[in-house]
Amino acid sequence: MKLFAKFVAVIASVALFAGAFTSTSAANERYGKQKVVYHINYNGGEDDKAYRGALRNIQNHINAVGKDNMEIKVVLHGNGVGLLKDAKTNQKLQMDVTSLKTQNVSFNVCNNTLKGRKIDYQNDLFEVFEDDIVPSGVAELSRLQMMGYTYIKP
C-alpha cells in the first residue's frame, strides 16, 4: 500500500508540473511577445490607491504573459510623477516599484513636469536616475506607440 501511495504522489507531482508547463506554454502561445507602455498622469488618491492599482495591473499583466515575453515602460508625467514622489515615504509603493523594476519594467519621468513643478529627481523621487528622464511624457508616449508599443492607461 505504501508503494502505491508513493506512486500516486509521483504521478500527481508529474501532472502538476505538466499542468504548470502547459499553462505557461498556453499563455506564451496565446499572448506571445508584447511591448506595452503604461501611461500614468493622475493623482494616487487616498493611500495612493490609484497608483497601487496601476502597479498591480502591470504585475497581473506580467503574470499572465510572462516577464520574458514582456517589454514594459511606464511613462509618468503631470500628476503621475506623484507616484515616485510618494514612494519616497510609502514603503508599499517602494516595494511595488522595486519588484516591477526587477522584472525589467522601466519607469520614464517627464522632464517638462520636473522643470515645471521644480522637482529634483535625485532628491524628491524614489529610485529615478538620469537615464529614466525623457524630454516630454506625451511625446514619449507617441514615440513608443510608433515603435509598436501597445498603449494602456490603467
- How is residue 66 written as a grid cell? 510572462
CA distance 126 to 86: 8
CA distance 30 to 58: 18
CA distance 128 to 7: 53
Grid cell 529634483 is found at: 120
* pLDDT tens profile 87-145: 999 999 999 999 999 999 999 999 999 999 999 999 999 999 999 999 999 999 999 99
* pLDDT tens profile 1-22: 454 444 434 343 433 444 444 4
Question: Which CATH number is associated with domain 33-152?
Answer: 3.40.1260.10
Is residue 84 a contact partner of residue 107, using CB atoms and an 8 Å limit?
yes
pTM for this model (two decimals):
0.81
CA distance 93 to 81: 13
